[in-house]
Structure 1
């Protein structure tokens, strides 16, 4: 006769994917019940917080598999990891711009006597760069901790801008949301069984992006005379860059996880691109910025939709069950 405790534990195990339950559920139940033999406990007991936490962590690892799960679970895990990597990449690139701006403005005097706000801006920028660099190493825990350190100030700035008007709050929200979601994906996707990403392509992308952002900071500081000259800015460049990358991925043979990750990232940066572009356009008397914003957002939207459709089709074509090896 099945006890209530066993039924409750089996209900908890439903967070695990079906293929894993079919293979391991009975073994897990036997192990759990063997340590809870008291009759009263069997009737009125519940799985503890430690068991619930362990099962939840196992559910994340099995649903977002590393390399030994079903093809669909592996692809989903790779998608989440790519979303995290794209977010870390863009945060690191923009942070290099913050560092360059602080140095070019001479806000970092010698002997560490800079104002507290400048110190924290520089510290969080360095944390974002280090988080991206460390994810390729065995120090993933440090990378996750630094990613949180780099994201916390965005929450503080959002709270500070809530009373500053709708425009400021909307810009801060759209700018911060991609970082928050990327950080969540970092913790979910890079579990202990996840493979380490190959640094080659990412480092090339980071180098090109950082050089571009530094060049823009110098351009904005020493060349631009008014807002109209900011038609070339990091947010519009990000939109066009991902529209181009997405178009290339669509015409080439790419795994579904790449298409889905790019589609998710496009969906995350699309509101920021629109809000930032139109807010800059409102500050000028010409329609150049507005036209560039509309064209950039439209291209990004169309590419994102195409990536999502193609990625979902490819993902659903993958097997949801483990591939037998014999």
Structure 2
């Protein structure tokens, strides 16, 4: 086996084992034929030193995503994982959309633009910046709202492009501000940027072979989420200084814990085909919030209330684990009961991308 073939087979390991067993040799033969230039010296050189092109690797990665996070014609396990990733992506993007939508109204209030509301406390008031470019650059994070709407309505490419606009400017702003000393060096902004990048990559699970998203419940979830989470939270935090220690990772832990608890309470009455993807999705979100909480703990060291913050963070971790561990066990047990082979052609598909 040549080094070129070894490198190509290494990339093919991204594909599921069953698919590789059936198609790997044919794919390798076709790839090696495509690398034959007709010149023996050039072909021999490529055999020893050549590598699969970026386009070839990207094609295999795309195929691996479609197979592992499959649609209606995939195996039940792949379909369950695919639905779970898509549901987790929708819930995470919904959270972004809810928070940025509410933050627009909050920012208008804090800057005194909403005259019919009571004036904010002096320590909460914001002073508008005079730099229009800096303001526009910072507003790029609000692009999560149109990205979410576009994804729910089925415009996948538009959603990815708009989400990229929401990811890049905040990352550049964080790097510039920390390098210039305008903002202190901290882990939290970079942890948030990493979450955004992973969310952008997870949108690849919405490929052409998956069932469409049911738009109505996900669009209705946007105003309902605003009324249930950010508005009450801001009102409480504005009047209770102790609750201002609940940062974004802590809030994520609280929301995910509540969602997992509600799901566990109603899981028994639901059909397995519908509840399993939601269980897996919430398990993924629980793991992500735990990782985010753990990554941002070093930021508490230099703060005056580090003892209280550490205690609160420990409570958040315990809450997520207490609810998430039983849910993960139940989800994995149900997943192992699903057949690993594809369903029969024409088998009905029970999409779960509506309301849990």
2:106 aligns with one of 94, 98, 101: 101
Deviations 1:130-188 (A, max 9, x none): 1111102232111111112112244235433478699861332444443232222123x
- The root-mean-square deviation of aligned C-alpha atoms, in Å, is 4.1
2:84 aligns with one of 79, 88, 106: 79
Q: Distance in 1 between matches of 2:91 and 2:207?
A: 17
- Other-structure match for 1:194: 210
1:36 Cα offset (Å): 5.9
- Other-structure match for 2:349: none
Q: Distance in 2 between matches of 1:272 and 1:26?
A: 41
Contact 1:65 1:193 in 2 (8 A): yes
Correspondence list, 1:155-304, <5 A: 155-159=171-175, 160-161=177-178, 169-187=186-204, 189-211=205-227, 212-217=229-234, 224=239, 227-228=241-242, 230=244, 236-251=250-265, 252=267, 253=270, 255-270=275-290, 272=292, 294-304=314-324
- Other-structure match for 1:310: 330
Q: Which blocks of at least 5 consecutive residues in structure 2 are unaligned?
A: 114-129, 347-356
- 2:141 equivalent to 1:124: yes
Q: Distance in 1 between matches of 2:151 and 2:68?
A: 21
Deviating more after overlay: 169-178 vs 91-100: 169-178
1:307 Cα offset (Å): 2.2
Deviating more after overlay: 299-308 vs 154-163: 154-163
What's the TM-score, normalizing by structure 2? 0.71
Deviations 1:77-104 (A, max 9, x none): 2222222222211111221133123322
Secondary structure at 1:15's aligned position in 2? coil
Deviations 1:245-277 (A, max 9, x none): 21232241453332222122122223555758x
**By percentage of residues, which structure has more helix?**
1
- Other-structure match for 1:321: 341
Q: Distance in 2 between matches of 1:162 and 1:260?
A: 39
Contact 2:141 2:170 in 1 (8 A): no
Contact 1:256 1:311 in 2 (8 A): yes
Deviations 1:52-91 (A, max 9, x none): 3322321221122122111111122222222222221111
What's the TM-score, normalizing by structure 1? 0.76
Deviating more after overlay: 78-87 vs 253-262: 253-262
Q: Distance in 1 between matches of 2:2 and 2:312?
A: 66
- Other-structure match for 1:151: 167
Deviations 1:171-219 (A, max 9, x none): 32444443232222123x1233233322344334322222332454456
Does the C-alpha gap of structure 1 residues 320 and 106 become closer, same or farther in structure 2, counting only changes over 3 Å? same
- Other-structure match for 1:65: 70
Contact 1:87 1:178 in 2 (8 A): no
Contact 1:177 1:268 in 2 (8 A): no
1:300 Cα offset (Å): 1.7
